[in-house]
Structure 1
Amino acid sequence: MASGTQAVTGGRSGEERPGGRTARRRLSVDERREQLIAVALELFAHRPPEEVSIDDIAAAAGASRPLVYHYFPGKQAIYEESMRRAGQELAGRFEEKAEGPLSERLHRVMGRYLDFVDSHGPGFSALLRGGSVAASPGTTAVIDEVRQAAYEQILLHLALPAPSPGIRRTVRAWIANAEITSLEWLAERSVPREELQLQLVQDFVVALVVTAAREPAVAVELADFLAAEQPEGPTGLLVRDLTSLLAVPGLATALTRLATPEA
């Protein structure tokens, strides 16, 4: 997150003068505040919030402790503002042009999502888990806004005229699943990131199919979604994996029995 933010040391920025001397100027109020937020967010991205102190933020910014308190009443305030900025960035990563197969769009979205999880680990995972000592109504509101932004973007991609309650529940459940799964991955790294990215998209496709089995109107839309999918895309790979299960001894017979009502 710190990338894209101009690094400033000692409270002043440098400009080259003739003869190699560097002219220094004091940061404006807005520039200093932005610098402190950027520095704090970088620290929170790599360490749990309870392990970051005001002194750490001041030292990283090349500022004094009283100066940090001049802009923020305490660590909680700067943490909440940092998380608000991080939340805005994360919400933006769900934005994707409505072009091409649905699963391929979601695959790109989840790639950006996991990039964020990977690079903003400890601070944001503590917030998402709700176990951080820095959690508060303000930080909870940040997460709620991210979840709502993700929810609205996924509904836009589905492009259903009137999403049913079942579809809405499916989308919200998948967002929760993606959140929990990615945080577990962050802690364990049990599978390659690319594999997790694919699995999360396929989880959504499966959830959509289950919803369609319960709702005829969704089934009609599902046919259009599947018609646009490609054999080498996430959905095509999923269908091949599911089809290969029929070769497992006894599985096809068991499924046929379950699908055939008794007379």
Structure 2
Amino acid sequence: MSVDERREQLIAVALELFSHRPPEEVSIDDIAAAAGASRPLVYHYFPGKQAIYEESLRRAGRELSARFEEPADGPLSERLYRVMGRYLDFVQSHGPGFAALLRGGSVTASTNTSAVIDEVRKAAHEQILGHLALPSPSPGLRLTVRAWIANAEITSLEWLADRSVPLEELRLHLVQEFVASLTLTAAREPALAAELAGFFAGERPDGPTGKLVRDLAGLLAVPGLADTLAVLAVPPTPEEPREQA
């Protein structure tokens, strides 16, 4: 192998090991054995395990960022559904290593590894805002998107720990949470509310948003719930000022 080919091979082998085991459980000897190389050869290319871990993480970060790229065609929730399918496939394939890092419990966490994760979050944030296609996203909307990305991370990591629901169910749940968060933000921002009708007009009954609307409609059919919510929807009357004694 050439110098570049050998280096690329070591990174690929290391990433495979880090994907299936927490990074602190992977040694230089493990990487060398998996690559069919000697321990001194690994050290020839990398000063230590931390360096090869960070390089592996950068490669994984680029791959994960690319999974958020999606053509701006079709209903918004269906685009996001395809994105989350690729995202969760990545989480499932690289579980132990990323779980250790994102939970902050890995001894290999550093400024460099944190920067890689931040770049992935930034890429996801910008991709999602791009799909909303708003000329000037408000600070509130940007915060909503960031909060949803953080929630997707936490939820997917919890799923890795117990896998208590089918992956497809989790995928749909995360997309519907985004739609719900977007709707709540629009309720507070008139400019976004004006765009919301356009988003919903492009949705289909069999898509994630259509399923969410049917679920909410079914919830309102629960006896007494609609009446209770109607009471809460009435603004309170101002209290009369009390007369001074």
**Identity percentage of aligned residues:** 80
What per-residue deviation string (whole Å, max 9, x for no partner) do you get for residues 184-243 of structure 1? 001110110000000000000000000000000000111100000000100000000001
Equivalent residue for 1:255? Answer: 229
Of residues 32, 37, 48, the one that matches 1:58 is 32
Does 2:158 align with 1:184? yes
Question: In 2, Cα distance between the equivalents of 1:64 and 1:262?
Answer: 75
Does 2:9 align with 1:35? yes
List alignment gaps of at least 5 residues for structure 1.
1-26
Question: In 1, Cα distance between the equivalents of 2:114 and 2:121?
Answer: 11
Of residues 113, 116, 119, the one that matches 1:139 is 113
Give the CA RMSD over aligned residues. Answer: 0.7
> 1:107-256 counterparts in 2 under 5 A?
107-256=81-230
Equivalent residue for 2:70? Answer: 96
Does 2:94 align with 1:105? no
What per-residue deviation string (whole Å, max 9, x for no partner) do you get for residues 49-75 of structure 1? 000000000000111000000000000
Cα distance, 1:257 vs. partner? 0.3
Question: In 2, Cα distance between the equivalents of 1:153 and 1:130?
Answer: 25
State the secondary structure of the residue aligned to 1:96: coil
TM-score normalised by structure 1 residue count:
0.89
Structure 1 stretches of 4+ moved >4 Å? none
User: Amino acid of the residue matched to residue 166 of structure 1?
Assistant: G
Question: In 1, Cα distance between the equivalents of 2:163 and 2:236?
Answer: 46
What per-residue deviation string (whole Å, max 9, x for no partner) do you get for residues 52-100 of structure 1? 0000000001110000000000000000000000000000000000000
State the secondary structure of the residue aligned to 2:229: helix
Question: In 1, Cα distance between the equivalents of 2:127 and 2:220?
Answer: 35
Question: In 2, Cα distance between the equivalents of 1:260 and 1:54?
Answer: 66
- Alignment coverage as a number of residue pairs: 237
TM-score normalised by structure 2 residue count:
0.96
Which structure has more RCO (C-alpha within 8 Å, separation ≥ 6)? Answer: 2
List alignment gaps of at least 5 residues for structure 2.
238-245
Question: In 1, Cα distance between the equivalents of 2:158 and 2:49?
Answer: 27
Does 2:55 align with 1:81? yes
